[in-house]
Structure 1
Amino acid sequence: MHEALQETIGIPADDLFQILTSHDGTTGTLRHGTYFGIERDDDIVYVRITLRAGRTPQQKRALYRRIAELAEAYAGTEPRNVFVTLTENGPADWSLGEGQAQYAPE
């Protein structure tokens, strides 16, 4: 996924703040359906991305497409099973350490 973020929306190569979590179906219930007529199955992958606001709709569409392409190429995940959501926020919503808002200095 990092490759897709770099290629489509310009995420720096060293911006590796990513959390990958596996859900094996033993500790919860994996839910999916056919919303928008897309036939998903138990191989669904949910991708949630939080990023600073400012990307265009075209960049976001390119990101979704590239994530689906890479999921298929690297893991054999069918694009219909790749579910992506973006949450945007502003520069002052980030502290990367030292108790500072690096993107929104005083």
Structure 2
Amino acid sequence: MPFVRIDAHGTDAARLDALGRAVHDALVETLGIPHDDRFQVLTGHDGARGTLRYDDYLGVHRDEGIVFVAITLRAGRTSERKQALYRRIAELAEAYAGTEPRNVFVTLTENTSDDWSLGHGIAQYAPRGT
């Protein structure tokens, strides 16, 4: 049950949609997320009402094509699966949205089953009786 936020500089709805599809498809392919398990917030920043800041940290040259992808999900994936996810997101962001892989910045935040309510004020993943 990942929750995804994507922030992109100077983009339109079509590119945001393509980036959302890229991230979702990568989650399905690499982590086995169900295809209908999509919860995303997609935001374009135009420089007037919102902007993004970035530098060339660790020698990765970034430019106005930068895309920040923040994924929150339940803990338990191996380092290898996470790395496969990062690679696949970068590949699909390039294929679907024309975003250069160097401009794809991904973070994962893991939590526990108790940290989710998917509606009705119920912690659906929490162990029963807690």
Common fold by TM > 0.5:
yes
Q: 1:3 aligns with which of 16, 20, 25?
A: 25
Question: What is the aligned partner in structure 2 of residue 70 from structure 1?
Answer: 92
Shift of 1:49: 0.4
Q: More deviation in 19-28 or 78-87?
A: 19-28
Structure 1 partner of 2:101:
79
Aligned length, in residue pairs: 106
2:118 to 84, 96, 99: 96
1:98 and 1:11 map into 2 onto residues whose CA distance is 22
Residues 16-95 of structure 1 mapped to structure 2, 5 A cutoff: 16-95=38-117
Could you tell me which runs of 5 or more consecutive residues in structure 2 were left unpaired when the two chains were aligned.
1-22
Residues 32 and 101 (structure 1), Cα distance of their counterparts in 2 relative to 1, 3 Å cut: same
| TM-score between the two structures when normalised by the length of structure 2 | 0.78
What's the CA shift for 1:12?
0.7
The residue type paired with residue 69 of structure 1 is E
Structure 1 residue 29 displacement after superposition? 3.4
Aligned equivalents of 2:116, 2:51: Cα separation in 1: 32
Q: Percent identity?
A: 71
CA distance in 1, matches of 2:121, 2:50: 35
Give the superposed CA RMSD.
0.9
TM superposition outliers: structure 1 runs of 4+ over 2 Å: none
Code of the residue aligned with 2:65 in structure 1: it is D
Q: What's the offset of the Cα at 1:67?
A: 0.3
The one-letter code of the counterpart of 1:40 is R
Gaps of 5+ in 1: none
Deviations 1:54-102 (A, max 9, x none): 0110010000000000000011100000000011100000011122111
